[in-house]
Amino acid sequence: MEDIEFLNTHHRGLVEFEAKTLQKVIEYEADKYGDKFTLAGIGERYHQYATPINNALERYLKEMLEKEMKATLEPMAIVPDYKNPLISSGLLYLAALRLIHDFDQKISPQLKGELEVNNSYFLLFPKLAGVYSFPTVIDWENGSHKKEIIREFSQFNPELTKSILKLIHKVIG
């Protein structure tokens, strides 16, 4: 966006969120690389670091769901729009249950579990339109989001907490 006033009017909080995210990226990389740290290429790296964790999880789960649906060789498996960002992995799973005979029996237990964990994660950390306060990849990389998950939820549901951490680690690293 070229017009900062337009941003402040129509996307309140975005500039502050991105400035804060960029600061986290620079602090993380400066700490990680020390004297070898450089701002060269920060724009490309920023894009990866600023990815919302929800988006990374959704992208992974939709890819896995697409593979498993198409592996059934059912003709209806080609119907869903797997790339549409408005269609969640949960909605795709519901579609699969309706489109593919016995899909509930055909889906791998691992993917079914990951879809359930993702639903729980989304309830704990929703990404709401127009609200710029959600965890991003940099929050995972610098450890702050992992600490937040453990601090806030491990006392209530330690198994779910472990499953969430495991899934995010699998997807992001």
Q: Which residues of 136-170 are buried (b: 16+ CB within 10 A; e: fewer)?
A: bbbbbbbeebbeebeeebeeeeeebbebbbebbee
Using alpha carbons, select from 148, 139, 132, 145 the residue that is nearest to residue 28: 139
* pLDDT tens-place string over residues 102-156: 999 999 999 999 999 999 999 999 888 778 989 999 999 999 999 999 999 999 9
Q: Which of 147, 108, 51 is nearest to 116 (CA)?
A: 108
Record the pTM: 0.89
Rounded CA gap, 58 and 88, in Å?
A: 7
Residue 4 has pLDDT above 80, yes or no: no
Contacts with 27 (C-beta within 8 Å, 6 or more apart), sequence order: 142
Q: How confident is the model at residue 171 (pLDDT cuts 50, 70, 90)?
A: very high
Q: What pLDDT score does 2 carry?
A: 63
The residues spanned by each domain of the chain are 1-50, 52-172
**How many angstroms separate the CA atoms of 2 and 173, rounded?**
34
